[in-house]
Structure 1
Amino acid sequence: MNTLSRLEQANDNAAAFWLAQARAHGWRYRIRPDWTAVRCARTPDDPPRLLVTRRYAEPKPLEAELAELIEEWEAVRFTVEDPYGGLDLTGLGAARMPAMPVMTREPGPVEGASAALPARAEARGGGVLTVDEALDGDTFALVERAVVDGFPLPARQPWTRGGALPENLLGEAGCRAWLGRVDAAVAGACLTYDDGRVTGVYWVATLPAHRGRGVAGAVLRTALAHAHPDRPASLVATSLGEPLYRRLGFTEQARTSWWIRTPADS
């Protein structure tokens, strides 16, 4: 019996989440045994996202496959996630960004999480912090705006409804969204994607005016406690978020290399 490692499960969840976005947007995609690619195409020069999902014996054949796809899709920009760290895409004009940890958390109770929704707590600095699931289009639009302005996503600013996260993404099985408010004002958000084996956490964001008030921790605790706590959870951590994730029980499985091509003249 072939048992997937936690890293492979995290890789598969990330690929599945991007495929859900492809279906919601109507984007092209390509699935191979060891990688998945999505042709993000809001604008002609939007970068495709290519995710390596399995360890490769030699990098050169995979580099050639990715180069062929990038040429086929006529991609000016692209982003490649390589959790195995063996690719060299400088020949394609890409730069290697600082590696980020792929982290997973084993199933189990979430310390400090509320058993009921909406979850309520006192925000640091005062005010009532609530977290609830976004179940309708208008609330999901608030989640989208919190991600665009809080993560942030400069390419999607100024925010337009549905430009980054279309409402029909909520119709994708396994996709759920979580919204945090302080005294009824939108403060932060995240998305989770459950693929039947792992619950992936994505786009954990706090709006600038509410940073340092415990918003991200409350949103993440609520999401973990209510989105299949019986499954492992996975995420890719930024340097700012990593301390929080470690406190919540996430451990590093690998450090993923991001290769990004953003030509100055594009």
Structure 2
Amino acid sequence: MNDLQLANKNSAAFWRAVGRARGYELIERPGFLAALDPVRNGLRVVLTSPEPPAADLAELTELMKSRSWPRVTIEDQFGVMSPPLTPNRKPVMVRPAAPLPAPTVEVVHVQTEAQLAGVDKLVVEGFPIRHFQPHGSAAAIPPGLLTTVGFDAYLIAVEGQWAAACATISDDEVAGIYFVTTLPEFRGRGLARQLMHAALGQLDPLLVTLTAAEAALHLYQSLGFTTIAESTWWSS
């Protein structure tokens, strides 16, 4: 696999894990992975082939039409679709294994449901995930992820309050970093960089991938990530 295929494989793995932990129906075909939630998250799709079978695209089109979804999100890293949705282009980045300094603040490697609930609150409120607000109405980062092979999460506290968090998923080929979040009142203190140092240290020697928000692009570049493609996220 090339780096883009590895990044795509990781994104599908992340949504497979999250979908199972949230209790979603999953549909997996050669050309796509779909997580179905008719109540809150809607239809979440990762296209998984640069040349998806026509039957898969037809099934996906029918899925989009079959229900009144609260939202539809299609992650298209290969540029194979043009659905009647709004496009948002995001850089797909990778970083080969390379040494980094240890974090200079305490970064908690999440081990308990209480700690994971802290990650959930941070991500829902700070990322933010608005369709999971108010926090507590449902878990965006549910407890079942604690027992998912390859899943890890990290937290930083400031003055006794959880201030920053991220999640990762990995296998023996590639790792991905997701939901890097700092609450607004703690931004500007370098906490995201400290999270990244901790997570990257744990993921060494794997290739690491992420999809970058524009505001964090400079941070990721400074950590050695380079852009390999531009993914189109189609959304309703």
Give TM-score scaled by structure 2 length. Answer: 0.93
Q: Which residue of 2 aligns with 1:104?
A: 94
Displacement, 1:57? 7.5
Aligned length: 236
Whether contact under 8 Å (1:63, 1:88) holds in the other structure is: no
Match of 2:37 among 40, 48, 55: 40
Give the partner amino acid of 2:231: T
Distance 2:137 2:177 in 1: 22
Whether contact under 8 Å (2:50, 2:78) holds in the other structure is: yes
Q: Which residue of 2 aligns with 1:19?
A: 16
Where 1:48 maps in the other structure, the secondary structure is strand
Larger Rg: 1
How big is each residue's C-alpha offset from its partner over 1:175-214, in whole Å with a ceiling of 9 and x where there is no partner? 0010011233211000000122111100000000000100
Displacement, 1:130? 2.2
Where 1:69 maps in the other structure, the secondary structure is helix
How big is each residue's C-alpha offset from its partner over 1:126-172, in whole Å with a ceiling of 9 and x where there is no partner? xxx42111100111111111111111111111111752111111110
Asked if residue 30 in structure 1 is aligned to residue 23 in structure 2, the reply is no
Distance 1:113 1:13 in 2: 25
Q: Which residue of 2 aligns with 1:126?
A: none
Displacement, 1:73? 5.2
Whether contact under 8 Å (2:30, 2:56) holds in the other structure is: no
Gaps of 5+ in 1: 115-120, 122-128, 262-266
Gaps of 5+ in 2: none
Whether contact under 8 Å (1:179, 1:186) holds in the other structure is: yes
Q: Which residue of 2 aligns with 1:49?
A: 44
How big is each residue's C-alpha offset from its partner over 1:27-59, in whole Å with a ceiling of 9 and x where there is no partner? 111111121111134x2x53211111221279x
Q: Which residue of 1 aligns with 2:78?
A: 84
Displacement, 1:61? 6.2
Displacement, 1:215? 0.6
Alignment of 1:143-222 (within 5 A): 143-160=119-136, 163-222=139-198
Whether contact under 8 Å (1:144, 1:161) holds in the other structure is: no
1:181/1:103 CA distance change after superposition, 3 Å? same
Where 2:106 maps in the other structure, the secondary structure is strand
Calculate percent identity across the aligned residue pairs: 34
